[in-house]
Chain A
């Protein structure tokens, strides 16, 4: 071992220019968000086609809506990770708070005839109240019991929405948002760019809130609860209140996301209430990398994009011509996503965002292994 370290040190001083170059590269790489930021802000004005990735030019209303959906789901996954990756709570009922935002806002607009701003406020409050009450009950059990109870609550919400009590929710069809109650600048296909900006604003808000709370003293306690809840108790803190705070915050962000989603899709549909919706959030978070700053965002964007594009792929002629062994699984996006999810769990622990670090770690270990081999004789 000692013979191996000495020559390596000498080798580093020998190729000095290469080191400075790599350092300069690394310094430049620190500015990677800049081009991304520019891209995000120029998207609505761009007519550039991205063949394979998107259908037609980027700035077309259809693609703008897909991109806005990607941003909303990236934000939703980031909010959900507040529970899963930051506090260690595996909630299976997140769809309920999202749906509360969507359905309450839409229903108040339709039934009470209030303006969008008032309805959205009520929808948000409904999300806060619901997550506070149900969170208080479900957090009485810990671990897997908590997961099951949140799932059961969300299921009730889903059943209620689909049974359509009093014709309020629209049952399995859902209900379209009333165009006359919405601000004129948010209605119609020519205003899709505005919706994109709203989705972007929501994403930024979620990222800021999550970053800020995670770095605050409460966030430290969350981290402690995730690592070892018993030790937090021993330190004289009651985890219950902290967990409830995380649950309510995540629920509030989800409800806000529901309102943005309502604007984006122009209606409330029962698909957003189902447990599949929560599971897809879970897939997004794990796909991207749970407990990281950008992971859930990356996962949400990737998943939403893949879901839409795989749907197009399933309906395309290329798949219809394949033999049935290939055609049958390819026609189901959910099968592909489920299989992909299992594959990610095995092959990519830590998600997609850990991929660069893993690759470079693999490369350095290979390089040192090679060097050791050379030095051995």
Chain B
């Protein structure tokens, strides 16, 4: 029983991490038809920003308490700025060439981790965190690490905030309408380009937050972390139906849980395989993903 509890919480934590990456990917893809290969790089930027701040480089920030919260905020802000820069400098000049947009993000996705490892080395760096978050708590006889719960909580908060933003605000309305039919929104005289930058900022912030909290989950940061998470985030986005936030949430929990349980109860590595086999089966049965949205 205790193993099941532990695996469930770990799976949920991993799923939360996937959701933080996949939500931005899914929105960006839904609105702009851009598959953002640099999204993993944004996560790495957030992780390194937080690590840099929490290691005492930023005044006021530190590995404990309020200092760590400030470090996470700093990392998220850096990731958001990086995402906006990416949209303005790389994506915007290529609006008329969608295939090239994807290729340009591939280039950025290669260059940024290389730059990070050039500056701070290719090896994993230990991630500083507050004592309260690196501890465990007892539940049904299992010792569950606190950071799993923090990650899940953060993902739920992000999901709720995004739902409220998309459902209740005017900007959210434009984004939703753009996902449905971009040409129609433009025809109504609304500048969709602002929504593009906005969606990139939101996606970048979510990914950077994922990077900051992922540092707690893994206990270290390394330049390739974002890229390896990105691939499973892709699986989540396809499984959930591209452009759908709820689909991404459901799929990320499913993928995280399946991966953890299969990795534990069979041999290590089979969980990753199981996830992709599941994806293949789903595509054979329902080519449009869980929510039935057009791929």
Taking Cβ atoms with an 8 Å cutoff, the residues of A that contact B are 90, 137-138, 140-145, 147-149, 151-153, 155-156, 159-160, 163, 165, 275-276, 279, 282-283, 286, 328-329, 331-335, 337-339, 341-342, 345-346, 349
Partner of A279, one of B90, B106, B280: B106
Selected contact of B110 from candidates A141, A152, A155, A338, CB within 8 Å: A338
Q: How far is the CA of A334 from the CA of B107 in the complex (A)?
A: 9
| Residue numbers in B under 8 Å from A283 (CB-CB) | 106-107, 110
Q: Is the interface of A mostly helix, strand, loop or mixed?
A: helix
Cβ–Cβ contact B231 & A152, under 8 A: yes
A-B contact pairs, 22 of them (CB 8 A): A144-B33, A145-B295, A148-B234, A149-B238, A149-B283, A152-B279, A156-B272, A159-B272, A275-B231, A279-B110, A283-B107, A333-B114, A334-B114, A337-B111, A338-B107, A338-B108, A338-B109, A338-B114, A341-B103, A345-B94, A345-B104, A349-B97
B235 touches A148 (CB 8 A): yes
Take A141-B283, A153-B276, A160-B273 as given contacts and tell me if A90 and B115 are in contact as well, using a CB distance cutoff of 8 Å.
no
Residue from the list A152, A328, A342 in contact with B235, Cβ < 8 A = A152
Any A CB within 8 A of the CB of B144: no
Shortest Cβ distance from A57 into chain B, in angstroms? 32
A153 to B277, CA, bound (A): 9
Q: Mark B64-104, 1 if CB is under 8 A from A, else 0.
A: 00000000000000000000000000100110010110111
CB-CB under 8 A from A339, the residues of chain B are 107, 111
Contact residues in B for A151 (Cβ distance below 8 Å): 231, 234
Q: With contacts A137-B280, A342-B104 known, what are 9 further pairs, Cβ within 8 A?
A: A137-B284, A144-B102, A148-B234, A151-B231, A152-B238, A152-B276, A156-B273, A159-B273, A332-B118
Q: Which residues of A have CB within 8 Å of B118?
A: 328-329, 331-332, 335
Residues of B within 8 A of A342 (CB): 90, 104, 107-108, 111
Within 8 A of A (CB), among B191-249: 227, 231, 234-235, 237-238, 242
The reply to whether the CB of B287 lies closer than 8 angstroms to some CB of chain A is yes
Chain A positions within 8 Å of B35 at CB level: 144, 147-148
A276 to B267, CA, bound (A): 26
- Confirm or deny: B4 has a beta carbon within 8 angstroms of a beta carbon on chain A: no
- Nearest residue, chain B, Cβ from A337: B110
Which chain A residue lies CB-closest to B277? A156
Distance, CA A276 to CA B107, complexed state (A)? 11
Of the candidates A137, A142, A152, A346, the one having the most CB atoms from chain B within 10 angstroms of its own CB is A152
Identity of the chain B residue whose Cβ is nearest the Cβ of A285 in the assembled complex = B103
A-binding residues in B (CB < 8 A): 29, 33, 35, 90, 93-94, 97, 99-100, 102-104, 106-115, 117-119, 227, 231, 234-235, 237-238, 242, 267-269, 272-273, 276, 279-280, 283-284, 287, 295
The interface centre, meaning the residue of B90, B100, B102, B107 with most chain A CB atoms within 10 A of its CB, is: B107
B29, B33, B235, B295: the one contacting A141 at CB < 8 Å is B295
In contact, B93 and A346 (Cβ under 8 angstroms): yes
A283 to B295, CA, bound (A): 25
Known contacts: A144-B33, A152-B276, A275-B231. The answer to whether A159 contacts B103 by CB under 8 A is no
- Known interface pairs A338-B108, A349-B97. Does A143 touch B231 (Cβ–Cβ under 8 Å)? no
Chain A: which residue is nearest B115 at the CB level? A335
Determine the chain A residues whose CB is within 8 A of the CB of B231 once the complex forms.
151-152, 155, 275
Cβ-defined contact, A335 with B111, below 8 A = yes
- Contacting pair A282 B279 (CB below 8 A): no
Report the bound CA distance from A11 to B123 in whole Å. Answer: 67
Q: Which residue of A lies closest to B234 (CB)?
A: A148
Measured CB to CB, the closest approach of chain B to A282, in angstroms, equals 6
Q: How far is the CA of A331 from the CA of B118 in the complex (A)?
A: 7
- Min CB distance B23 to A, Å, is 16
Closest residue of chain A to B97, judged by CB? A349
- Whether the pair A328, B107 counts as a contact (CB closer than 8 A) is no
Whole-angstrom distance between the Cβ of A140 and the nearest chain B Cβ? 5
CA distance A345 to B103 in the complex (A): 8
User: How far in angstroms is the closest Cβ of chain B from A283?
Assistant: 7
Chain B, residue nearest A338 (CB): B111
Bound form: Cα–Cα A155–B255 in Å: 15
With A141-B287, A149-B279, A332-B115 already in contact, the answer to whether A345 and B242 are too (CB < 8 A) is no
